[in-house]
Amino acid sequence: MALINENFLNLSEDYLFSDIAKKVNAFNLLHPGSKIIRLGVGDVSLPLPTSVISALHTSVDEMADISTFRGYGPEQGYNFLRETIVKNDYEPRGVILDPGEIFISDGAKSDIGNIGDILSRDNRIAVTDPVYPVYIDTNIMGGRAGSFSSTGHWSNIIYIPCTAENRFVPELPEERPDVIYLCYPNNPTGMALSRKELKKWVNYALENEILILFDAAYEAYISDDDVPHSIYEIKGAKEIAIEFRSFSKTAGFTGLRCGFTVIPEELKCRSLKGELVSLNHLWNRRQCTKFNGTAYMVQRAAESVYSPIGKIQVRNMIKYYMRNARVLTENLREIGLEVFGGVNAPYIWIKSPDGLSSWKFFDRLLFERHIVGTPGVGFGPSGEGYLRLTAFGKYEDSLEAVERFKDWMI
């Protein structure tokens, strides 16, 4: 009989967002017809930009013509998109990359989960806490997490607390890890790292031969000049960091699926023999074996995001969501809640009032105000006592949510 990967048995039975869905479904059964304002799961609400739709139509027509039809594409992505990314996302920020260092994918989540394929299971992992659950769960699957304790921690994972006391800015860990996950602007807290703060992490990684996995999925939402859009803006980062990006929240591709991962040629890690090995080459080999490439039409759609009209439409989309964030943060603070984030990211991190637990705050908000958020404890032990809201809903719903909060808090 075939044996299973028993690491999967160490996973929680339910994923955070499936737990939320069950509670919302139960609410709907008890309160049929009630209008729920969904500010929990971070799906977008605006349709795709017209530039993207136009590119999709054109590329679909190409696929119907024998002279322009395309079959299997390169697993690494078409050069037209890789070159466009380098020219638009990196060169204007003084970052020099070769298109061969860009790998197109079906979204950042996939690559963040799959990157462990090229890393030893003996690596010690560090995460900021609270943290995007995928960072933890994929390391549980990979056998790197150890055992789960009653405190909510995994024994082989180093947790770096991000709390109100340290302004949600992580301190360098006392114990040296091999791999560090950083997500900035941050999901779930909505906070960002300044250039000085990010430089501290790059220098630490350089001094200690640590690999940084840098999730920059929300870089397009940055408004402060002192917040880097890419870790490669920091000198030396190409030697120690992989960067993940996504078109999901930037251009509304949550249903279309496209992202990319940057692995510089300078980035090397050691084999058990102590030899330096290129991660770019290892990842390329992995992709050629286990990935058939992102659809041609989707890559043409992603390319259109960088056209003159595409850039305008994406900026307007981001402005729309950040207006939601401003409405939520400013008004919730006015009614007396402690609120963080919402400036350089579309996430709002709220301290539970009156010492409520995260799930108790969630339940009361759902059943008393018909608003869905995400319990902070679902992102890790340091998230207990907080709730995350997202700004990806409709503007009218953000306004109505504020009024429901005001009614409730009075």
Comparing CA positions, the residue from 267, 248, 244 lying closest to residue 256 is 248
Are 190 and 292 in a shared domain? yes
Q: How many CB atoms lie within 10 A of CB 81?
A: 24
CATH of the domain at 171: 3.40.640.10
Q: Given a cut of 70, is residue 392 above it in pLDDT?
A: yes
Average pLDDT over residues 359-368: 95
Among 276, 306, 336, which residue terminates a domain?
A: 306
Are 127 and 142 in a shared domain? yes
For residue 382, the model assigns a pLDDT of 96
In a domain, 1, yes or no: no
In a domain, 351, yes or no: yes
Q: How many CB atoms lie within 10 A of CB 107?
A: 22
Are 398 and 333 in a shared domain? yes
44-100 pLDDT, tens digit each: 999 999 999 999 999 999 999 999 999 999 999 999 999 999 999 999 999 999 999
Average pLDDT over residues 383-393: 97
Handedness of CA 366, 371, 377, 383 (dihedral sign): negative
Mean pLDDT of the chain: 96
Are 273 and 380 in a shared domain? no
Comparing CA positions, the residue from 302, 311, 256 lying closest to residue 44 is 256
Query: What span, in angstroms and rounded, lies between the C-alpha atoms of 136 and 139?
Result: 5
Query: What span, in angstroms and rounded, lies between the C-alpha atoms of 260 and 76?
Result: 9
For residue 152, the model assigns a pLDDT of 87
CATH of the domain at 29: 3.90.1150.10
98-123 pLDDT, tens digit each: 999 999 999 999 999 999 999 999 99
Are 118 and 23 in a shared domain? no
Among 306, 325, 353, which residue terminates a domain?
A: 306
In a domain, 87, yes or no: yes
Are 35 and 74 in a shared domain? no
HSE at residue 158, side-chain half, CA atoms within 13 A, is: 18
In a domain, 238, yes or no: yes
In a domain, 352, yes or no: yes
- Phi, psi angles (nearest 5°) of residue 157: -110, 135
Instruction: Report in angstroms the alpha-carbon separations of 371 from 88, 133, 379.
Output: 38, 22, 19
8 Å CB contact between 192 and 227:
yes
For residue 192, the model assigns a pLDDT of 97
In a domain, 94, yes or no: yes
Query: What span, in angstroms and rounded, lies between the C-alpha atoms of 170 and 163?
Result: 8
For residue 410, the model assigns a pLDDT of 52
Least confident of 12-16, 46-50, 362-366: 12-16
Handedness of CA 26, 27, 31, 37 (dihedral sign): negative
134-193 pLDDT, tens digit each: 999 999 999 999 999 988 899 999 999 999 999 999 999 999 999 999 999 999 999 999
Q: Given a cut of 70, is residue 364 above it in pLDDT?
A: yes
Residue with structure tokens 């992992």? 125
Q: Given a cut of 80, is residue 14 above it in pLDDT?
A: no
Are 11 and 83 in a shared domain? no
In a domain, 59, yes or no: yes
Residues listed for the chain: 410
Average pLDDT over residues 207-225: 98
381: tokens are 């032990």
Are 347 and 302 in a shared domain? no
Q: Given a cut of 80, is residue 264 above it in pLDDT?
A: yes
Among 306, 330, 357, which residue terminates a domain?
A: 306
Are 318 and 296 in a shared domain? no
**SS3 sequence, the chain?**
CCCCCHHHHHCCCCCHHHHHHHHHHHHHHHCCCCCCEECCCCCCCCCCCHHHHHHHHHHHHHHCCCCCCCCCCCCCCCHHHHHHHHHHHHHHHCCCCCHHHEEEECCHHHHHHHHHHHCCCCCCEEEEECCCHHHHHHHHHCCCCCCECCCCCECCEEEEECCHHHCCCCCCCCCCCCEEEEECCCCCCCCCCCHHHHHHHHHHHHHHCCEEEEECCCHHHCCCCCCCCCHHHCCCHHHCEEEEEECHHHHCCCCCCCEEEECCCCCEEECCCCCEEEHHHHHHHHHHHHCCCCCHHHHHHHHHCCCHHHHHHHHHHHHHHHHHHHHHHHHHHHCCCCEEECCCCCEEEEECHHHCCHHHHHHHHHHHHCEECEEHHHHCHHHCCEEEEECCCCHHHHHHHHHHHHHHHC
Comparing CA positions, the residue from 86, 142, 83, 84 lying closest to residue 112 is 142
- Percent over 90 (pLDDT), the chain: 91
Are 126 and 254 in a shared domain? yes
Are 398 and 344 in a shared domain? yes
In a domain, 295, yes or no: yes
Are 140 and 284 in a shared domain? yes
* Number of domains into which the chain is organized: 2
- Taking every pair of Cα atoms in the chain, the longest distance, rounded to a whole number of angstroms, is 67
What is the domain extent for residue 334? 6-47+309-409
